[in-house]
A and B are shown apart, each in its own frame.
Chain A
Amino acid sequence: MKATPIYLDYNATTPCDPRVVEAMLPYFTQHFGNAASADHVYGWQSREAVTDARLQVAELIGASPKQIIFTSGATESINLALKGLAENSPGGHIISCQTEHKAVLDTLTYLEMRGCDVTLLEVDTDGALSPAALEAAIRPNTIAIALMYANNETGVIHPVPEFAAIARRHDIPFLCDATQAVGKIPVNVTSDGPDLMAFSAHKIYGPKGIGALYIRSKRQLLQPLLHGGAHEGGLRSGTLNTPGIIGFGKAAELCQAELSDEQQRLGMLRDQLEAALLGQLPGVVINGKGSRLPQVSNVLLPHPDVEHLLLSLSAHLAVSRGSACANLVQQPSHVLKAMGLSVEQAAQAVRISLGRFTTATEVQQAAQRLVQAIATPVV
């Protein structure tokens, strides 16, 4: 048995916590009932479990369970929110930002083809977006604002409460993609104030294929993507993914309990990692400044071929270039380009993200591997 590489790509996905898997297992074989079956005990059991899980998920973000609908993941939640808003006000104007995740950007590109007008706000070299710029971009026909909580590549945290206040002042629905922030830092829909918020289970040690959309009120503003059975209040038809929902609920509960210790621990490890790299490798630059998520570091490495560097370290270390890309032809990160990096610089960037199962030793070893590989000249 060979040693497995050190996993430092938690922003791409997290392993399921064994406690989550344990909670899910009975719902595959024993409690397999359809939560919509109203006439027997199997259905009732499932429905009860889903109700509990919805509460667990809602509590993690300070919401009420009836404000949560389950989807297949953050991408679906974002699509459901944006397409619904756009369909209700055809030809409307939507404001977003250049550093958003592709789930937002690609959906907006699609809506542009359907007649929407899209403004993508710029960020500064630190990755920050100013509330003033947001307010200045608002037009009379602006129908939605879509801004993320924290960036998936750099970890830069946006001033969400300020954005929400502006949106409320202009009475514009505000969708926040909080996929990377939920479970990592305190996120509270009441104090943060978004109208819609998307997040997913597999970033918080839950299973893949399950996510949620928080909807403050005015469900009527949205239109379902899927029809057939009127599940989830008619917004998301399809038999509920009971094991996934149970896992999501358990994962949310664990995060809530462990969040503050974990936030501190990971922040410390991340700072140690950055210090090690900055101290031993001249030319290292940390991308993204100001308020950042505790677990992620986006590092510009002084190496001519970072793709090859990562492949050659793949037996020992799992980190990624920029964001996990949809296809094999890796495009330089749009996030880093928006922050003013050149294509060449963006190609040198590596995202190192830590998580619940990362140890101090692993972080030291990872830094050592990178330093060794970069400091040793290629023959």
Chain B
Amino acid sequence: MKEIRQIIQAYEMATAQQKRAVLATVVHIEGSAYRAPGARMLITEDGMLTGAVSGGCLEGDVLRKALLVMTGEQPLLVTYDTSDEEDHVIGVSLGCNGIIRILLEPLPDADDNAIVLLKEAVAERSPAVVVTFFAEKDKLHRLQGTRLCWTQRGLHAITPPVSAVAADIQLAVTRGTSTFVQYAEGFTAFIEYLAPAPALVIAGAGNDVMPLAGMAEILGWSVTLIDGRPAYAKQQRFPGCQVLIAQPEQALSNLAIDEDTAIVLMSHNYHYDKAVLEAAVKTDARYIGILGPHKKRARLLEELPPLSAAQLGKIYGPTGLDIGAETAEEIALSIIAEIKSVFAGRQGQALRDKQGHIHMRHTQFTPSLQEYAVLVLAAGASRRLGQAKQQLAFEGETLLQRATRTALSIGAATTAVITSEAATLPATVIVNHQHAEGMASAIRLGVEHTDKYQFILVMLCDQPYVNTAHLLQLIAAQQVSGAPVAASLYAGRKGVPALFHRSQFAALQSLQGDTGAKHLIEQLGDMVTSVPFPEGAFDIDTREAYQQLIKTEHD
């Protein structure tokens, strides 16, 4: 985030001086690399570098290649293989062991280039996605480059070479991680998920807060200070921070506190800290640090109304990692390190003692949603219900319409609805004339129509709580695990909705009678990865269940 802001600033300065610039983006890595995908560097025609794409070993060569790119209009994809111990290009052994792909794109002096998209991505403190296309097989392909930016405000696109990417952006947002999606057109999209930078709220504006605020600023975090003492809470004491003079009770109510926020109590005023703590535990803040000994925390917790386990889990008191910190600067280091580790889900241990890789980066290529089909099974006879359950109404639409709408929402290549009679729906409708046989005939018919895809997602129309997020989570779980099937976990068992890789299509085709996909999922046992979905247990098999559903609607 900070690097992107610095690059935007450097670009604007270069433009003002009428200097040309090239943007270098690490778009993919395999094996280990110092910088992750998303690392960027701006190169201007006078050879100035802003940002970094490596630990310094590749910059010299990237600079020269960028100057080469500047002489034309074509982007260039450069691949460095640092696993070669005696690399004759780099000239020195890097000690890393990986393949680094860097895209160099010219930045024509236009209103619509990569920098415009980056600006939009960091304009507000909210999640954003930036999509950079590269073509491994054609390193000079013109359409390579930063082409899309998605934020909650909408999608900004500069002629992307692949139109199907919107659905894959949605999946990356659901995963909360960056993805690398390969398209049939020969392009790979680096779909970069940018979480907002952490925010730090500090109760207290004394001198000992200065190093903490300063270090947070270096990291690019947004810092807010609250204190009741006007003599301390002065803007000029803390340039670059938001400084609020506030009574502790109101202090947090004026701030938008999300789960990427850390709150640290260091006012050195017990009552002030206590009042802020009482408000803080009710927010989404993921970290609440208390400066002071165990005794202080114990007394605070004793005097506050009882807290839930989740609330207690967010409280870190005494705040900081045990690094023997004494001075205000050292304490700041200890607190910052702890917040960083909590936000990253790490333990804060010495890397020396850690097994395996330093980073946990998922950089494997994943298929596009263009490789996925969805089957909505709606042809089952509803013996117990006594009527066609797909026609039951819920929240202003039939269950069949609802399931179809949810299926379409994930943006798969095709959505097919298997029914027992003709229906008008915004998806492909396939009428199953053998529906009397049972569930298996519908699955077989559906797979027959969609077996050219890599994956088929099977869902029913009588699970009213199935939503877009859950379907995307099934896809994400399969991508991360590599399992042949990803199923929903409810009532202690794995079932539908479930995602099947094409290796399982034959097994689906061989189902008979009234056995459903669930049968195959049980057979595969531990090979199936699962996503918890307690609401999946609720299906509309009986009139009582439907009445219960209608009741929730009115509540």
Whether both chains belong to one complex is answered with: yes
Q: B-contacting residues of A (Cβ < 8 Å)?
A: 2, 4, 308, 311-312, 314-315, 326-329
Knowing A328-B61, A328-B90, A329-B92 are in contact, say whether A312-B45 is a contact too (CB < 8 A): yes
Q: Is the CB of B67 within 8 A of A328?
A: no
Q: Is the CB of A311 within 8 A of B88?
A: no
Q: Is the CB of A312 within 8 A of B46?
A: yes
- Could you say which residues of chain A place their CB within 8 Å of the CB of B71? 2, 4, 315
CB distance from B18 to the nearest CB of A (A): 13
- Please, how many angstroms separate the alpha-carbon atoms of A328 and B71 in the complex? 21
Q: Is the CB of A327 within 8 A of B89?
A: yes
Q: Which residue of B67, B72, B89, B92 contacts A311 across the interface (Cβ within 8 Å)?
A: B67
Q: Mark B32-63, 1 if CB is under 8 A from A, else 0.
A: 00000000000001110000000000001101
Q: Is the CB of A329 within 8 A of B63?
A: no
Q: Is the CB of A311 within 8 A of B91?
A: no
- Please, how many angstroms separate the alpha-carbon atoms of A41 and B91 in the complex? 49
Knowing A308-B47, A312-B45 are in contact, say whether A327-B88 is a contact too (CB < 8 A): yes
Residue of B with least CB distance to A378 = B46
CB distance from A232 to the nearest CB of B (A): 29
Q: Is the CB of B61 within 8 A of A314?
A: no
Q: Which residue of A2, A311, A327 contacts B63 across the interface (Cβ within 8 Å)?
A: A311
Q: Is the CB of A314 within 8 A of B67?
A: yes
- Could you say which residues of chain B place their CB within 8 Å of the CB of A312? 45-47
- Please, how many angstroms separate the alpha-carbon atoms of A327 and B84 in the complex? 15
Residue of A with least CB distance to B73 = A2
CB distance from B193 to the nearest CB of A (A): 34
- Please, how many angstroms separate the alpha-carbon atoms of A314 and B60 in the complex? 14
- Please, how many angstroms separate the alpha-carbon atoms of A312 and B67 in the complex? 9
The total of Cβ contacts below 8 Å across the A-B interface reads 29
Q: Mark B69-112, 1 if CB is under 8 A from A, else 0.
A: 01110000000000000001111100000000000000000000
- Please, how many angstroms separate the alpha-carbon atoms of A308 and B61 in the complex? 13
- Please, how many angstroms separate the alpha-carbon atoms of A312 and B89 in the complex? 22
Q: Is the CB of A311 within 8 A of B61?
A: no
- Could you say which residues of chain A place their CB within 8 Å of the CB of B47? 308, 311-312, 314
CB distance from A118 to the nearest CB of B (A): 25
Q: Which residue of A2, A4, A308, A329 contacts B91 across the interface (Cβ within 8 Å)?
A: A329
Nearest first, the 4 A-B pairs at minimum CB distance are A327-B91, A329-B91, A311-B47, A312-B46
CB distance from A311 to the nearest CB of B (A): 4
Residue of A with least CB distance to B89 = A328
Q: Which residue of A315, A326, A327 contacts B70 across the interface (Cβ within 8 Å)?
A: A315
CB distance from A54 to the nearest CB of B (A): 34
Q: Is the CB of B60 within 8 A of A328?
A: yes
B433 at the interface (CB under 8 A from A): no
B64 at the interface (CB under 8 A from A): yes
Instruction: Report the contact-size class of chain B (Cβ under 8 Å from the partner).
Output: 10 to 19
Q: Is the CB of B67 within 8 A of A315?
A: yes
- Could you say which residues of chain A place their CB within 8 Å of the CB of B92? 329
- Please, how many angstroms separate the alpha-carbon atoms of A308 and B60 in the complex? 10
CB distance from B457 to the nearest CB of A (A): 49
CB distance from B364 to the nearest CB of A (A): 31
- Could you say which residues of chain B place their CB within 8 Å of the CB of A315? 45, 67, 70-71
- Please, how many angstroms separate the alpha-carbon atoms of A326 and B90 in the complex? 11
Residue of A with least CB distance to B45 = A315
- Could you say which residues of chain B place their CB within 8 Å of the CB of A4? 71
The contact sample of 11 A-B pairs, CB cut-off 8 A, is A2-B71, A2-B72, A311-B47, A312-B46, A315-B45, A315-B70, A327-B90, A327-B91, A328-B61, A328-B90, A329-B92
CB distance from A301 to the nearest CB of B (A): 16
- Please, how many angstroms separate the alpha-carbon atoms of A308 and B70 in the complex? 16
Q: Mark B163-199, 1 if CB is under 8 A from A, else 0.
A: 0000000000000000000000000000000000000
- Could you say which residues of chain A place their CB within 8 Å of the CB of B91? 327-329
Residue of A with least CB distance to B58 = A328
Residue of A with least CB distance to B72 = A2
- Please, how many angstroms separate the alpha-carbon atoms of A2 and B60 in the complex? 24
The CB with the most chain B CB atoms within 10 A, among A311, A326, A329, is that of A311
- Could you say which residues of chain A place their CB within 8 Å of the CB of B72? 2
- Please, how many angstroms separate the alpha-carbon atoms of A308 and B46 in the complex? 8
- Could you say which residues of chain A place their CB within 8 Å of the CB of B90? 327-328
Residue of A with least CB distance to B66 = A311
Q: Mark B14-46, 1 if CB is under 8 A from A, else 0.
A: 000000000000000000000000000000011
- Could you say which residues of chain B place their CB within 8 Å of the CB of A327? 88-91
- Please, how many angstroms separate the alpha-carbon atoms of A311 and B71 in the complex? 13
- Please, how many angstroms separate the alpha-carbon atoms of A4 and B68 in the complex? 11
CB distance from B478 to the nearest CB of A (A): 43
CB distance from A161 to the nearest CB of B (A): 39
CB distance from B175 to the nearest CB of A (A): 38
- Please, how many angstroms separate the alpha-carbon atoms of A87 and B61 in the complex? 40
Other A-B pairs, 5, CB within 8 Å; known A2-B71, A328-B90: A311-B64, A314-B67, A315-B67, A327-B88, A328-B60
Residue of B with least CB distance to A327 = B91
- Could you say which residues of chain B place their CB within 8 Å of the CB of A311? 47, 63-64, 67
- Could you say which residues of chain B place their CB within 8 Å of the CB of A314? 47, 67
- Please, how many angstroms separate the alpha-carbon atoms of A19 and B61 in the complex? 35
Within B195-241, the residues touching A (CB, 8 Å) are: none
CB distance from B417 to the nearest CB of A (A): 56
- Please, how many angstroms separate the alpha-carbon atoms of A328 and B61 in the complex? 7
Residue of A with least CB distance to B71 = A2
Residue of A with least CB distance to B68 = A314
Residue of B with least CB distance to A325 = B91
Residue of B with least CB distance to A311 = B47
Residue of B with least CB distance to A326 = B88
CB distance from B14 to the nearest CB of A (A): 12
Within B339-374, the residues touching A (CB, 8 Å) are: none
- Could you say which residues of chain A place their CB within 8 Å of the CB of B63? 311
CB distance from A244 to the nearest CB of B (A): 25
CB distance from B519 to the nearest CB of A (A): 61
CB distance from A307 to the nearest CB of B (A): 9
- Please, how many angstroms separate the alpha-carbon atoms of A329 and B61 in the complex? 10
- Please, how many angstroms separate the alpha-carbon atoms of A211 and B67 in the complex? 32
Residue of A with least CB distance to B44 = A312
- Could you say which residues of chain A place their CB within 8 Å of the CB of B45? 312, 315
Residue of A with least CB distance to B20 = A315
Q: Mark B489-501, 1 if CB is under 8 A from A, else 0.
A: 0000000000000
Within B518-554, the residues touching A (CB, 8 Å) are: none
CB distance from B260 to the nearest CB of A (A): 37
- Please, how many angstroms separate the alpha-carbon atoms of A4 and B47 in the complex? 18
Residue of B with least CB distance to A331 = B91
Residue of B with least CB distance to A5 = B71
CB distance from B12 to the nearest CB of A (A): 16
- Please, how many angstroms separate the alpha-carbon atoms of A311 and B49 in the complex? 12
Residue of B with least CB distance to A310 = B47
CB distance from A312 to the nearest CB of B (A): 4
CB distance from B319 to the nearest CB of A (A): 43
- Please, how many angstroms separate the alpha-carbon atoms of A327 and B91 in the complex? 6
- Please, how many angstroms separate the alpha-carbon atoms of A69 and B390 in the complex? 89
- Please, how many angstroms separate the alpha-carbon atoms of A308 and B91 in the complex? 19
- Please, how many angstroms separate the alpha-carbon atoms of A311 and B47 in the complex? 6
- Could you say which residues of chain A place their CB within 8 Å of the CB of B70? 315
- Please, how many angstroms separate the alpha-carbon atoms of A2 and B88 in the complex? 32
- Please, how many angstroms separate the alpha-carbon atoms of A101 and B67 in the complex? 29
- Please, how many angstroms separate the alpha-carbon atoms of A327 and B92 in the complex? 9
- Please, how many angstroms separate the alpha-carbon atoms of A315 and B21 in the complex? 12
CB distance from A5 to the nearest CB of B (A): 8
